[in-house]
Structure 1
């Protein structure tokens, strides 16, 4: 298998790295951390102009028809700059679910708007009692004469506060009770009965909790034909984990580069730290962990359209391994920077916080080691 990037992929990587290096400095990140929106609408517009919002959207809906590898290239560059724009929520999760589950009319109504930057989405699925089990949904959707009535709550909705529409998962009920099927419903952010409570995420960006109280929706708010959406949810979350893994690789590479430069200029007893053999060994271990994580992220991206079990094992394997590598690289970077590593004067701490957040999103390493093993027994 040829794992070299194509000419188009190399150009995408170069343009993304150049844009992030020019637009995301420490001052910009501090400004976004104190901004109630958590990201820049002007930068989001630039994402649209560069074609990044259209990247994975099918060509018939004004997209570029890119795949998970291209998304990974972009996300790795985003990791280098700690980008806080709602790319994963809108493009990797929201657009993917609409493209997979929606009717032709629903796709035509939403996907071109996502591509041009005029529609931002969020995906609300996690619940307190679920403990990262995607099949556990307590939020209910009851059929009514006019459409649907939703009731329940969701937690940790990425960038839900900034979304124009939120895709909410709910257990569908008919006249006989729960149907056993999970449906996806497109809920306008201004819908009566929807309460949004947002908060800053560790490492940048924002998330929110949702409360749905007697929320009424029309019939066509349901994505697709009403079949069980759980396989599509698992597919989309596996795609998101592959993308977030690539972002973590970008963060880890930045920490490695920053730590290497610091040990060259920081002197102790008249010699740079990098002259110490023990320090060199630690840097070599960090570099190995970054390369291992990059390989796992690429493997997960290459498997996103494989058979469900193969895809899920690749995604969980990557999430577990990258989470372990990320914590090692982050901790070593802070330690090698000494006391400066935990001050706001350097951004090492901010990058480490984003890695800690990555390890928790969609389940930590322990959860995904267990999922990987369970899938292996079923294979």
Structure 2
């Protein structure tokens, strides 16, 4: 496995770091609290063609591999950007891989930044279990009728199209019988409650009350969507781990700068051996997390069992390291590390919330053990 970035990926990384370093300002983040994202930053990312890195050439992009995802999301995490690029990856790749020609036109529009996407899969009682789907889809004439609830649908209220999972057969925890549907914005019978997230961006609770869809809304084969959902979440988990890696690097950099400038007893506190050891431990843990993320990104195209073992191993490790880095960074800053006005606060929140998405460290430890035993 070659760990070095290709020339194209290096150019993408450099361009993204420069752009986000200038664009993600306190003013842009404050404006994004209302809408869930900054239209200016999203337009800039679209103009740079960043979304193309999330899709293969056959899907209208220029990347789509694990290391392409790592480059993009590490820089988003490093800057603390709140734009819904992860939702584009989740929903967009599902549409690109399962949709017909008409549905795939949405992917081209999404890559250009013209439309927003969201993926509604989690439910109030599902926790982190992908196969637990209670929302039902029943045939109604030439179409479908959907009834159920979806929870924490990131970008749900802002999306022009929502990819929704629903059970067309089987029991609530069966892997077989899960189907995917494409819902346009404004479809009758959908109730959306929008709310802000603590780390930035918006999510929504969605109620489907007898939503009627045409037959063409079905994505892929009926009842056979679980494998595609699991693959999509594997990619998204790699992306979110890279995001956490970038956020940890920023937290470490902020801490290092503070240790060099904050003085006590007439000298910078960074000269105190105890703090030097803690800073060194942070660096070592972050580098271990980086190795795990690289390993996962390199195995996204492996067979299912190998891929999923790396998914859970990496998510567990990154979750543990993210918590350690957030706690150590805040503690070494002292009182200022707790203030809302200081940048470290939003990165600490980001790391805490990233651990919860797609399964926290404890969940993935248990899943890793089960996968290895199997």
**Alignment TM class, shorter chain as reference:** over 0.9
Q: Equivalent residue for 1:106?
A: 103
CA contact (8 A) 2:190 2:211 kept: yes
* 1:103 shift after superposition: 2.5
Match of 2:202 in 1: 206
Secondary structure at 1:363's aligned position in 2? coil
Structure 2 unaligned residues grouped into runs of 5+: none
Shift of 1:27: 3.1
**Match for residue 360 of structure 2?**
364
The match for 1:295 is 291
**How far apart, in 2, do the equivalents of 1:30 and 1:342 lie?**
19
The answer for the alignment partner of 1:94 in structure 2 is 91
- Tell me the residue number matched to 1:122: 118
In 1, Cα distance between equivalents of 2:180 and 2:65: 23
Deviations 1:178-229 (A, max 9, x none): 9941000001121110011111112111111100001000001000132410
Aligned Cα RMSD in Å? 1.5
| Residue pairs, 1:67-216, within 5 angstroms | 67-90=65-88, 92-107=89-104, 109-173=105-169, 180-216=176-212
Distance 2:341 2:266 in 1: 24
- Cα offset, 1:142, TM superposition: 0.2
Determine whether 1:256 maps to 2:252.
yes
Aligned-pair distance for 1:96?
1.1
Deviations 1:250-276 (A, max 9, x none): 000001011001011100111110110
Q: Name which of 315, 318, 323 aligns with 1:319.
A: 315
Partner of 2:217: 221
Match of 1:233 among 205, 229, 234: 229
Shift of 1:311: 0.8
Aligned to 2:6: 6
Q: Does 1:374 align with 2:366?
A: no
Residue 38 of structure 1 is matched in structure 2 by 36
41-50 or 288-297: which moved more? 41-50
The answer as to 2:280 corresponding to 1:280 is no
User: Does the Cα contact within 8 Å between 1:143 and 1:173 map onto a contact in 2?
Assistant: no
Q: Quick one: distance in 2 between partners of 1:106 and 1:74?
A: 25
Q: Kindly provide the CA deviation profile for residues 270-324 of structure 1, in whole angstroms up to 9, marking residues without a partner as x.
A: 1110110000000000101111111111111111111111111111111110010
Tell me the TM-score normalised to structure 2 length.
0.96
For residues 179 and 4 of structure 1, the distance between their equivalents in structure 2, rounded to whole angstroms, comes to: 38
Aligned residues: 371
1:354 pairs with one of 350, 353, 361: 350
Q: CA deviation at 1:173?
A: 4.4
Shift of 1:94: 0.9
Which residue of structure 2 lines up, in the alignment, with residue 18 of structure 1?
A: 18
- Preserved contact between residue 167 and residue 223 of structure 2 (Cα < 8 Å): no
User: In 1, Cα distance between the equivalents of 2:60 and 2:323?
Assistant: 39
How many angstroms does 1:61 deviate by?
A: 4.3
* Structure 2: distance between partners of 1:354 and 1:31: 18
For residues 216 and 40 of structure 1, what CA distance do their matches in structure 2 show? 33
SS at match of 1:29: helix
SS at match of 1:54: helix
What secondary structure sits across from 2:42 in the alignment? helix
Query: 1:353 Cα deviation (Å)?
Result: 0.3
8 Å contact 2:188–2:211 — kept in the other structure? yes
Please list every run of 5 or more consecutive structure 1 residues that lacks an aligned counterpart in the other structure.
none
Contact 2:29 2:38 in 1 (8 A): no
Shift of 1:154: 0.4
Please point out which of 45, 57, 60 is paired with 1:59.
57
| 136-145 or 302-311, which deviates more | 302-311
Q: Over residues 222-247 of structure 1, what are the superposed CA-to-partner deviations in whole Å (9 max), with x where a residue is unaligned?
A: 00132410011011011101000000
8 Å CA contact retained: 1:124, 1:168: yes
